Amino acid sequence: MKTTATPRCPTLLQRPSGHYDERPAGVAISLLVIHNISLPAGHFAPVPQQGSYVDALFCGRLDCNAHASFSSLQGVTVAAHCVIWRDGSIFQYVPFSQRAWHAGKSEFAGRANCNDFSIGIELEGCDNLPYTEQQYQSLVALSHYLMTCYQDISPQRIVGHCDIAPGRKTDPGPAFDWLAYRIALKESRE
C-alpha cells in the first residue's frame, strides 16, 4: 500500500552557495542525479562543519594552494543541491527550486543540460570505497521526500552522474550499491 502522507523532510543544514541560477521558465524538476565527491580524492572530512574542502569548494572559498590536486579547481564554480556526509548529515547548498551547477555537460533520455531539470545529491565518497549505512539511510529519506515533492521524479529517473555524462564521469562508482538503495527506497514508499 502506497502512503499518501508527505514524508518529513530530513534535517538539512543550510550552507548557502552562490553557484546556481534560475531554472528555465516552465521546466519541471524530473531527475535526481547521485554523485560522489572527496577532496583530496579519497580523503574525508572528520567533521564536515570544520574545514571541509568540499564545503569550501561549494561555498566558493576553496584555497587552491592547500593541496597539489586542487590546482585544476582554480576558478571552478560548482555545487550540488545537497551533500550527504559520511556520518549521514545533510548540508543543503542550493534551494531545490533553483538550478545548481552540478552535472556539467550532460544528457538524459535525449534531453541535454540536465542541470535545467535535475536535483544533484553528492555523497562524500569515491568510486571504489564503500559508502556508509548512515549515507544510504539519509539518501533514501531525502530521495523519498524529493519524489513526493517533485512527482516527475520516478525510480527510473534516479541516476548516477555516470549515466548522464558517460565517458566523462564515473560517479557514484562501483562501490555504490544501487540494488540495496532501490530496495530501501521502494520499502520507504510502501
Q: Determine contact, residues 107/155, Cβ cutoff 8 Å.
A: no
Residues 3, 155: Cα–Cα separation, whole Å: 16
- Tell me, yes or no, if 122 is annotated catalytic: yes
Per annotation, catalytic residue among 122, 124, 133, 187? 122
Q: How far is CA 79 from CA 22, 36, 103, 146, 152, in A?
A: 14, 12, 9, 18, 23
Cα–Cα nearest to 161, from 110, 116, 127: 127
Q: 46-61: buried (b, 16+ CB within 10 Å) or exposed (e) per residue?
A: eebeeebbbbbbbbee
Residue with cell 562508482: 173
Residues forming the active site: 122
